[in-house]
Amino acid sequence: MALRLFNTLARATEEFVPIAPPRVGLYCCGPTVYDFGHIGNFRTFVFSDLVRRHLEFRGFAVNHVMNITDVEDKIIRRVRETGTPLREYTGRFTDAFLQDLDALGCRRPHHLPRATDHIDGMIRLIARLVERGIAYRTPDGSVYFGIEKYRASERWPGCACRYGQLVNLNFDEQRATERVAADEYEKDHIADFALWKARVPDDGDVFWESPWGQGRPGWHIECSAMSLALLGDGFDVHLGGEDLAFPHHEDEIAQSEAAGGLEGGLWNERRPFVKYWLHAAHLLVEGKKMSKSLGNFHTLRDLLGRGYTGREVRQLLLAAHYRDTFNFTVEGLDGARAALARIDECTAKLREAAGNAVAAGPAPALVTAFGAALDEDFNVSRGWAAVFDWVRDTNRALAAGEIDAARAAAELAAWERVDGVLGLGGKSAEEAPAAAVALLEARTAAKKAKDFARADTIRAELKALGWAVEDTAKGPKLKKT
Ligand code: AMP
Ligand code: ZN
């Protein structure tokens, strides 16, 4: 059965047919690195990891790109307030972001371009838009994208080249209701957006030279330049949170298609900028969007500090279908812990039953049922149902003595294939809290120094914290008691 996904562009579920199979280009709008990400942001990033893993499971060769927005208003303000150089400031939060991605079991994207490394591409796109008469300069030296000019511009056959592809827009209504920000009064049309922002004193030394004078790029052009540079003119999948559909993604489409791509490839190949757009619904807290401005957010670090693991947070973030909003609660995390314990218990029993046996017998149904669920617009809720049916049936069959070693090995192999998509991994020593890991290291040092009394004291301290030390061939490991 083919993979089908809900394409925001078509407002319908469509069969997934990549431009040049088996290759798939996947772009996800990444974090703005001005602070630690909250787990609402990570719902979207974990979803992009799920999409990549499922595409790989289906045999596609995915090129996964996630940008790092490292120049933007909030960042500039923080840089100014803290007196830290831009790269140093954003570098710190980029590292933290990557650690969080790892803790959540996400495969690292193949490319993590920083916006500040792609200024040349942005200038090229803007220059093309100016040359085509679609972008215009304002007296302060900024450059704006002219929506009306775009709507009246020449298109190439087969291209929608329309503003309002992801959302239906009523321009006249918009003109009347949208607030005009004080510093944007020079725009021709309310929906026009900045491609290049002229340098102002508050920008400090955050600026680049351009044909329009010193300044910095607008946020939307950053994503167009990076995605086109790394995935080519016209690619398969673009993904982000639902709040990005308008105006960010709509503007990405407009400027990329109006420019014809970075190399003119969109015009030459008569392709749209992106074939499939996926939008993940928000994570809510008590019915409201989790966001920094509302102050109702949790960072991953907060939750790890409260004793939850990255694996448990991942399970919860993947619990619901990506197009359904999902209410985050700490009780939900306890539920995730219980769900994982059921899976871990079952796989541990299977491992024991399998011993060193090689998988044999009919292919377990789990892989088929799970794969079919995810083929239907990444229906992970149905996927979990397949997993827990399997856990129940496997436990029953194990208890009835119906599973021999070869079958146990086959069931385990099936689980591992499914987990290649879910990305939960095994319960491991890395999940021990930092305090326990530090004690383990101290014990190793004590043993090395032949201070066995101290090593034993530390072992007792660890036991009191609920962790046993197992000395294995690969060194000491922590195991939850
Ligand atoms: P930002 O760092 O604010 O640019 O956001 C990074 C990503 O997180 C974007 O794709 C947003 O759409 C997404 N996002 C922001 N808030 C939430 C939320 N509460 N739930 C899910 N995704 C979110
Ligand atoms: Zn973006």
CA distances, 380 to each of 317, 376, 463 (Å): 11, 9, 37
Alpha helices by DSSP H, 299-431: 300-305, 310-317, 330-354, 365-375, 380-399, 405-422
Ligand 1 pocket member 243 (CB < 6 A): yes
Residue 282: CB within 6 Å of ligand 1? Answer: yes
Q: Whose CA is nearest to atom 9 of ligand 1?
A: 241
In degrees, to the nearest 5, what angle opens at C-alpha 70 toward C-alphas 317 and 199? 140
Between the CA of 281 and the centroid of ligand 1 the distance, in Å, is 9
Query: Where do the domains of the chain lie?
Result: 8-280, 285-422, 434-480
Q: How far is the CA of 462 from the centre of ligand 2 (A)?
A: 45
Residue 290 Cβ inside 6 Å of ligand 1? The answer reads yes
Q: Whose CA is nearest to atom 11 of ligand 1?
A: 241
Mutate to test the pocket of ligand 1, among 36, 39, 44, 297 (most ligand atoms within 8 A of CB): 44
Please identify, by atom number, the ligand 1 atom nearest to the C-alpha of residue 28: 10
The DSSP annotation for 49-62 comes to HHHHHHHHHTT-EE
User: Yes or no: is domain 285-422 CATH 1.20.120.640?
Assistant: yes
Was domain 8-280 assigned CATH 3.30.930.10? no
Q: How many Å is the maximal CA-CA distance in the chain?
A: 82
pLDDT in the model for residue 467: 86
pLDDT on residue 361:
81
| Paired tokens of 452 | 């066995």
Cα–Cα distance for residue pair 46/40, rounded to 1 Å: 10
Residue nearest to atom 7 of ligand 1 (CA): 41
pLDDT tens figures, 126-185: 999 999 999 999 999 999 999 999 988 888 777 778 899 998 776 655 554 454 444 455
Q: Which residue's structure tokens are 């991605």?
A: 101
The whole-number pLDDT of residue 137 equals: 96
HEC string of 349-371 equals HHHHHHCCCCCCCCCCHHHHHHH
Closest ligand 1 atom number to CA of residue 44 = 22
Nearest ligand atom owner, CA of 225 = 2
Cβ(240) – ligand 1 distance below 6 Å: yes
Atom of ligand 1 nearest to the CA of 281: 21
Q: How far is the CA of 153 from the centre of ligand 2 (A)?
A: 24
Position 321 scores a pLDDT of 98
Is 241 near ligand 1, meaning CB less than 6 Å away? yes
What is the position in ligand 1's atom list of the atom closest to the CA of 69? 4
Nearest atom (ligand 1) to Cα of 283? 20
Q: For the chain of 481 residues, list the mean pLDDT of each consecutive stretch of 10.
A: 94 97 98 96 98 98 98 94 96 97 98 98 98 95 95 81 84 52 64 96 96 97 98 98 96 96 93 97 91 90 95 98 95 97 97 93 92 98 98 98 96 97 79 79 90 91 86 77 75
Residue 322 token pair = 């990506």
Nearest ligand to the C-alpha atom of residue 70: 1
> Does residue 31 line the site of ligand 1, with CB under 6 A?
yes
